[in-house]
Structure 1
Amino acid sequence: MTGQTDSVLTEAALDTALRELIGYSMKRATAMVTADAARVLEPMGLRITTFSALTVICNAPGVRQTELAAALGMERSNSVAVIDTLEKAHWITRERSARDRRAIALQPTTAGIMRQKQARLALLTHEDRMFAGLSQIERRELVKLLSRIRA
């Protein structure tokens, strides 16, 4: 006797007790959606974090590094690497802020705006596929519920 059982338990059978926990279910769903989003963004030279930062910069030209970090819920020091990556790809530039000459304003380039639009469309397609089982009303409700949790 080797100590192994002859039955093979499925993943669902193994984590049944965890699936009733909202946090666990959110974690599993997030991992699945995030992994697929990363796969979609990778050929465009983006990761989820760099896409998020590029989107904020495109939607709020002139945003400062500290504002960007706060908007994305990341440490200011971690945002430096993200900003460096976007600048090296020529998707953003750093300029002196017109509001505060001591601060650096982040500006999207034309190439950055085009890349952000391309990536956004790819992610919308990704979400249509990932959330095909939900109606548009259910999707809007899910976003509302998640926003309430964050608040």
Structure 2
Amino acid sequence: MKPALSDKTHKSAGPIVDESTLQGFLGYQLKRAFNVMQADLTQALKPHGLRMLTYTALILIADNPGLSQSQLAAAMDVERPNLVVILDALEHRALILRERVPSDRRTYALKVTLKGRQLYEKATADVKTHEQALLAGIDAATRKTVVEAMLLIRHRAAKDSL
């Protein structure tokens, strides 16, 4: 049985590829939707010189002053060496500061600068505008249900990994 909504967005020449089996998998639908949202996010962040990962790091640092690099790596689910590259980019632009924690000289506390806070506000406003446009026509109750479903999947995965 084919889903009620089908994906007929292919722009290649020739016959349309039958995706009916794949469309029955939630993971496939999530991946396709993520690709659309990621492309839109990329466009929203481009004028600010940010990428998805640098934006995510900036937001988490701004919303959690004093966050350690280890905490940030865990929150973003990235390896610490990869995080260093992200933090270097933000620090190079004077958007964040890394300050040694006096009680543990191996640990850095991350803080957003005034310039970083201003960029956070501008970029977040643009991301919200882009997301609202992308999700136009999807009512608030449906959005809430989708978010709740995503959280259930994440919590289930976290529970299973314990």
Partner of 1:133: 137
Partner of 2:42: 38
Distance 2:110 2:144 in 1: 31
Deviation at 1:100, TM superposition (A): 2.8
State yes or no: 1:9 paired with 2:4. no
Q: 98-107 or 82-91: which moved more?
A: 98-107
Distance 2:137 2:24 in 1: 20
Residue by residue, what CA displacement relative to the aligned partner does 1:46-104 show, whole Å, maximum 9, x if unpaired? 00000000000000111111110000111111100000000011100111125533311
- How many residues align structurally? 143
Distance 2:20 2:103 in 1: 54
Partner of 1:3: none
Deviation at 1:30, TM superposition (A): 0.3
Residues 112-151 of structure 1: matches in 2 within 5 Å?
112-151=116-155
The runs of at least 4 consecutive aligned structure 1 residues that moved more than 4 Å come to none
State yes or no: 1:85 paired with 2:89. yes
Deviation at 1:134, TM superposition (A): 0.9
Q: CA RMSD in A?
A: 1.4
Residues 141 and 85 (structure 1), Cα distance of their counterparts in 2 relative to 1, 3 Å cut: same
1:125 counterpart letter in structure 2: T
TM-score by length of 2: 0.84
Deviation at 1:117, TM superposition (A): 1.1
TM-score by length of 1: 0.90
1:74 counterpart letter in structure 2: V
Distance 2:105 2:85 in 1: 22
Q: SS state of the match for residue 14, structure 1?
A: coil
2:15 counterpart letter in structure 1: L
Is there any run of 5+ residues in structure 2 with no aligned partner, and where? 1-12, 156-162
Distance 2:103 2:76 in 1: 22
